Amino acid sequence: MPHLVRGRTLWILLLAALMPALGATPARAESADLYTVTGVQVQASGARPELARAKAVAAGEAVALGRLLRKLTLAEDHARLPKPDAEAVRGAVRNFSVESENQQGDKYTASIAYRFDRDAIRAMLESASIPFLDAPSPPLVLLPVWREEGKPTLWDDPNPWREAWQRHEPEDTLVEFARLRADLADLKAISGEEAAAGNRAAINRIADHYKAGLIAVALATVEKGQRRIAVTLYDVANGRTSAIGTFPAGTDAAGLDKAAQQIARAIDAGWKKSAIAVEQNAVVVRIRAPLQGLDHWIRIRQTLSSMPQLRSLTTVSMSPGEALIELRFAGTMAELRRQLEQKGMAITPEPAAAGGTEVWLLRPPATTIKETELPPTPASPPGKAEERPKPGPPAGKEPQKKP
């Protein structure tokens, strides 16, 4: 005789099946490119072309590792970064790909991208007790405002500062600089006058347009033939404003190009310093979330995981009526509550037993869930790369040799 499964029991069985996948979830997916260093220029000579190529690839590994370690850490810690031997460097490289190459006689030159193993890099920095970040910033939009004769210009021409910023290609930064589109939506979102004045409503509009968490206003002024660029950073999620600094911009296009490089590095350094301080003081909060079904639970997890400062979400226990979860949030409780409010949620403290863990009650979002709100399909894997040789290659396939 067939057994009938009641709705409540079926719901529990579904959750039990999903628990291994839903138990502990990183708040932000690791960027596929975070541990990749591109554009490493190498050259070497050898008696045979393959020897020259092998020497160049091996030499580039150490250069790429140095760039990666500096990207993940603060400038004040660069002098004490680990200096692993060639074998340790080689062990940290997952694979490489040749972007361009040229062989002339016994001389080999190339541009190579190296992909490093996340765990190996983390172990290097942790063993040296060096604080680091391995997550990129929220997308940042820099607004290059040009003010001459008292009039600020952003989208209109002439704006040589905007042209210089669009020529610039930031590299080795954790800050994700968004590429300006300068389309009609941009023009409607914010004007040069609003950007120069730090108009919060306009800054929020341009942030919404780009789905950005950070907005930098870089105001270039021309006075008595002197060009200077003052940079102010606006953190949209937290409402913070900070001055990055004022930078000389020369008297020609080359001066503006140099300023663009300096400003990108300064923004990256300032954000890393702030983010590392926040990470080191992250709060851990236990929350009780009332549930109204499996769809409701999925909606809650999606909403929480979309907060930019959430670092982990762990399911402590679950029943058909509620879930007990633990959040690790890189920020203060006030910032957590503010971000929850922006998502249509709220938390209130519950009375705690003597010596017990403090628990907060979550007011969850609406119960409906749309197909468009489900997590996106994972990105396609990167293009074919040259892997390190491993013992026992598959039959019929010769591995790519590396020095």
pLDDT digits (tens, 9 = 90+) for 266-313: 999 999 998 888 777 788 999 999 998 888 899 999 999 888 778 889
- 119-151 confidence digits (pLDDT tens): 999 999 999 999 999 888 889 999 999 999 889
- 308-336 confidence digits (pLDDT tens): 778 889 999 999 889 999 998 988 888 89
Q: Is residue 383 part of a domain?
A: no
Q: Within 10 Å of residue 89's Cβ, how many Cβ atoms?
A: 21
Give the residue numbers spanning the domain of 116: 36-127
- 211-252 confidence digits (pLDDT tens): 999 999 999 999 887 899 999 999 987 788 999 999 999 999
Q: Read off the tokens for 143.
A: 């607004």
Q: Is residue 29 part of a domain?
A: no
Count structural domains, the chain. Answer: 3
Is the domain of 248 the same as that of 307?
no
Burial of 343 (0-12, 13-18, 19+ CB in 10 A): middle
Q: Which of 92, 127, 162 is the last residue of a domain?
A: 127
Q: How far apart are CA 265 and CA 287, in angstroms?
A: 39
Full DSSP string of 107-152 = EEEEEEEEEE-HHHHHHHHHHTT-----SPPSPEEEEEEEEETTEE
Is the domain of 153 the same as that of 247?
yes
Q: What is the CATH number of the domain that holds 45?
A: 3.10.129.140
Whether residue 176 contacts residue 213, with contact meaning beta carbons closer than 8 Å, is answered with no
Q: How far apart are CA 134 and CA 118, in angstroms?
A: 9
Is the domain of 155 the same as that of 237?
yes
Q: Read off the tokens for 345.
A: 């949620």
Reference 194, options 222, 227, 153; nearest CA is 153
Mean pLDDT for the stretch of residues 165-192:
94
What element of type H or E holds 193? helix 192-197
Q: What is the pLDDT of residue 30?
A: 44
Q: Residue 332: what are its φ and ψ, rounded to 5°? A: -90, 165
Q: Coil, strand or helix: which one is 364? A: coil
Is the domain of 288 the same as that of 322?
yes
Q: What is the pLDDT of residue 331?
A: 80
Whether residue 282 contacts residue 192, with contact meaning beta carbons closer than 8 Å, is answered with no
Mean pLDDT of the chain: 84
The pTM for the full model equals: 0.69
